[in-house]
Structure 1
């Protein structure tokens, strides 16, 4: 990121105790004043949450492409890989322009989802993948709506629009598998997890560590991330 932007927006380093389900205790607090509009703590947290979601869903999509036992599951995997790669490119672009520091790993909770799915195969993997992704994307849709209706920063607004389209695509893809267990999804969507904040917080990137880049598949039909700003 540019030196001038870094000096102006240095306060946008995401807080160590940012929760994926519970955002900053003062979400309307303005943390920077770039030309694209004021950036609030909630805006900053949303950019970090988007990055964390991409980081855990992308490898799950790769697993679905390899381990899925039905065409619909493998198709959902393809949508996850392509969609998260494109959304992450847009997320990193916005973060760079606003001076927001992004994580290179998802939250411990999200890493737990991925670890569980890594150990599963066959129909169990298919069903758990579809149900887990339907739940987490349904929860994230609420977060997107809240930011889209409150942010006054044009870059965050554009990212929310793209995230909304991506999440709806993911929801449709996993529902088409016919394997979503809605008896699990609906209660979890409406109840915040009773977990400590550190379990919901993506760990800060290590200084000097190369930024993780999610590579879109060569034959993707998902449009590339638009230029924003």
Structure 2
């Protein structure tokens, strides 16, 4: 009978243990701090710039027959994809969704490049890269200097260095504006 009493006691205690209050989940983390308006604008512009460079880089990688242009295009895709991933992480921390569409002007430029082939494609692709990186450089430099967000400051400074490098490469690969530049013509 003692065994039965013990069994009955154990059977009556087990459901009580199961009913005990489960440990509480830790409180939800506080919502991410919103970005300052200037930082939010920067994030949007930087995302669109990365998306454009990835798109034009992929196009040049498949369209160009020049090994140096293809290598540059592949680097653009690699670097700007990594930049976009890093920017996406920062944006997520602040509850911001990155835009995925190009601007109307960038769509038009991409469509114009898609219609070109051969040396004209290479020349115009490089001209687009010089212009895009010339336009982007001050954006990243200003953000690196002016933002108070440590992650954005680091991202902008690192990306400004990459943008400067891409600009230098695009300029070095670009053909001279005038093939006779530097020559003296004798009449």
Match of 2:173, SS state, is coil
* Match 1:98 to one of 89, 94, 100: 94
Deviations 1:165-201 (A, max 9, x none): 221222122123133759xxxxxxxxxxxxxxxxxxx
Structure in which a larger fraction of residues adopt helix:
2
Cα root mean square deviation, aligned: 2.0
| 2:109 equivalent to 1:113 | yes
Q: Distance in 2 between matches of 1:179 and 1:42?
A: 37
Give 2:127's match in structure 1, choosing from 131, 151, 159: 131
The answer on whether the counterparts of 1:87 and 1:163 sit within 8 Å (CA) in structure 2 is yes
The structural deviation recorded for 1:162 is 2.4
Aligned position for 1:72? 68
Further displaced range: 141-150 or 87-96: 141-150
Which residue of the partner structure matches residue 174 of structure 1? 170
C-alpha distance in 1, partners of 2:169/2:125? Answer: 11
Instruction: Indicate the residue corresponding to 1:82 in structure 2.
Output: 78
Bigger Rg, which one: 2
TM-score using structure 1 length: 0.61
- Counterpart CA distance in 2 for 1:161 and 1:181 is 31
On the 8 A contact 2:61/2:74 being kept in 1, the answer is yes
> Unpaired segments of 5 or more residues in structure 1?
10-31, 33-38, 183-229
Residue deviations 1:70-119 (CA, integer Å, cap 9, x gap): 22211111111111111011110110011112111111111111111111
1:56 corresponds to: 52
Q: Which runs of 5+ in 2 are unaligned?
A: 1-27, 179-187
TM (norm. structure 2) is 0.74
